[in-house]
Amino acid sequence: MKAAESNRYRIEALAKGLDVLSLFDETTTALKLRDICDRTGIPMPTAFRVVATLEEGGYLERLEDGTIRPGVAVLTLGSAALRGSSLVQLSEQPLRQLAEATGETVNLGVLRGDQVLYLVRIRNADLVTANIQVGSTLPAAFTSMGKLLLSYLSPDELRSLYADSDLTAAGPNAVRSVSELEERLAAIRQQGYALQDEEVAPGLRSVSVPVFGREARPAAAINIAVNTTRHDLAELRGPLLDRARTAAADISLRLRAA
């Protein structure tokens, strides 16, 4: 459907409600009404009505000090979306087998703008890392899954994505500039997998490979995440990469057959 045609069916009030819900993520868990107005451009009276409507439906809740945060109904929607996702359903068994075979944390993620969104996470309790869970996002430029998926973007798409980004680094080995990122992505494209070596956080490494559906670009990426004290880079490039590729091939086959 063309943009001009789809705009005929646009419901502005609903669109404003979705704009408000979209403000909340892992780093923004609560806002004041004035913050919502400033970030969306919605006038205060309209924002008040939108928030009140979402609050009535359980999608937002208002604390005593006026702070607004997502309500339980949002969690129900998110859970339903994950349960209904064919990608999540079809990848669950191969990922569990991968986690059991390696004894390490495994993840499946997709690219959302300049972030990688975690859709599946099977965690090894020994892994030392940030509090990442299903629904979490991390800067794609610092993660193995994110870099793997970014490597399939065109140069113009990549520059547009990072036009206003300063790439504030997290871990000690993270990229500091878009040009440095481009160099790493070129190597990833050539080798077909991505490594992350203390770029997300100190003490964490991972290796990632693509999962393909029927499109030329990956439908998702999977990774094996390890503590630096447990595996060196040679092991990530060797037996762990081989196991990740086997799991990715299994998921890809399931996606194409679905």
Domains defined for the chain, CATH in brackets = 3-76 (1.10.10.10), 85-257 (3.30.450.40)
* Integer Rg of the chain from CA: 20
Residue 139 to residue 248: CA distance in whole angstroms: 22
Tokens representing residue 79 in the block:
């859970």
- The answer to whether the beta carbons of residues 155 and 178 sit under 8 Å apart is no
pLDDT at 26: 64
- pLDDT at position 194: 97
Rounded CA separation 246/91 (Å): 12
Instruction: Round to whole Å and give the CA distance between 50 and 93.
Output: 41
The SS3 assignment for 171 reads: coil
pLDDT for 128 equals 53
The owner of tokens 């140069």 is: 155
Using CA atoms, how far apart are residues 171 and 202, in angstroms rounded to an integer? 6
**Residues paired with 60 in a beta bridge:** 70
Closest CA relative to residue 138, chosen from 77, 213, 196: 196
Residues of the chain with pLDDT under 70: 1-6, 26, 75-85, 125-131, 169
> Which region holds residue 109: left if phi is over 0, alpha if psi is between -120 and 50, else beta?
beta
Contact present, 69 and 59 (Cβ < 8 Å):
no
Q: What is the pTM of this model?
A: 0.73
